[in-house]
Amino acid sequence: MNAAQKWTAYYTILIKEVLRFSRIWKQTILPPVITTSLYFVIFGNLIGEKIGEMDGHRYIDFIMPGLIMMTVITNAYANVVASFYGSKFQGNIAEMLVSPTPNWIILAGFVSGGVARGMAVGIAVTLISLLFTHLHMQHFWVMASIVTMTAVLFSLAGVINAVYARSFDDINIIPTFVLTPLTYLGGVFYSISTLPEFWQKVSLLNPVLYMVNGFRFGILGVSDMPVWVSYGVIAGFILLLGGFSLYLLNKGTGIRS
């Protein structure tokens, strides 16, 4: 395939993925916006008034970056795992793999669709957050790059889950038993500086912590660790999961068998 044909293949997959979640926006975009609004009301306005400040910022301002990142993570992941598994179940993926389209183009198309949904929900939640707090944009490009890289990372994770899933129930295992604990314990609602020293060290094993703090640094200018560490951790996981995802597609694991 020449460059124009590769672009056409990628663009076609991307448009399919975007139309897939945008046509049912009441199921894909609206629910997380409503859920996050409840977080702002309960944790921000009600509980936040009693907590006061954290790291020199109002509590509602402090949790706002984490809540936005949480919705980006869950929606980027959910979009890819559901779409890829649905395509695998219907046999579409097998047809793509035997076509002249390079596997990395197929992977990029699905991942870009996950990023698109994650960013769409993230923007919607950001707009809603303006009803509860003021948006402080300290480092725009840090914020934009961290959230994009995070959406890419969890889109890749969605591909891996979908490859190994044998039923629709299997695609709910990782979000329930892995993503939810990681996000809630990833510094969304607190700074790890408030934890005992032992649990601070344990928290450093959670990759979501670096994503939330990198994004918080972009908005508020505060973080529990240097921003370059956040970039390094996210980039490392992208390379790891990206390479593994491509390996699974090349091998046809869970698809050709």
- Each residue's pLDDT tens digit, 188-223: 888 898 888 898 899 999 999 999 999 999 999 999
- pLDDT of 137 reads 82
* Crossing angle of the two packed helices 3-22 and 103-129, in degrees rounded to 10: 40
Query: Average per-residue pLDDT in the chain?
Result: 90
Is the pLDDT confidence value at 145 over 80? yes
Nearest alpha carbon to residue 79 among 20, 148, 153, 126:
20
- pLDDT of 90 reads 83
- Each residue's pLDDT tens digit, 54-68: 888 888 889 999 999
For tokens 């959230």, what's the residue? 147
Determine the number of helices (DSSP H) and then strands (DSSP E) in the chain: 13, 2
Stretch 249-256: mean pLDDT: 82
CB 82 within 8 A of CB 171: yes
- Each residue's pLDDT tens digit, 2-46: 888 889 999 999 999 999 999 999 999 999 999 999 988 888 777
Stretch 236-240: mean pLDDT: 97
- Each residue's pLDDT tens digit, 114-123: 999 999 999 9
